[in-house]
Amino acid sequence: MNATLFLDSVFTVLASMGLVGVAALTLWLLPWSDGEREGTARAATAVARQAMETAERTRIPARVLAAR
């Protein structure tokens, strides 16, 4: 992987994480009741947990990654 592609990938990941963080902060700051806010936090945690479990189950062989 060359340096330009690596830096582009890093910046893309950082920008994506920033957008998700801003969205989460926006949702957290909305004037909801405490119960609604707790429900949103539980739902976000469940989605994140499911995404992590899916990522752990899905393994991409190293030979496929090297070919890209």
pLDDT digits (tens, 9 = 90+) for 1-41: 688 888 899 999 999 999 999 998 887 787 778 788 788 88
The rounded distance, in Å, linking the Cα atoms of 15 and 20 is: 9
pLDDT tops 90 at residue 46: yes
37 and 15 inside one domain: no
Six-digit token pair at 48?
A: 């994140």
pLDDT tops 60 at residue 45: yes
Q: Are 24 and 44 in contact (CB under 8 A)?
A: yes
38 and 19 inside one domain: no
Number of folded domains that form the chain: 2
**pLDDT at position 64, please?**
55
> Is the whole-model pTM more than 0.75?
no
7 and 24 inside one domain: yes
Domain of 6, in residue numbers? 1-30
Six-digit token pair at 42?
A: 């539980």
The rounded distance, in Å, linking the Cα atoms of 29 and 66 is: 43
CA 40 to chain centre: 16
Q: Are 40 and 27 in contact (CB under 8 A)?
A: yes
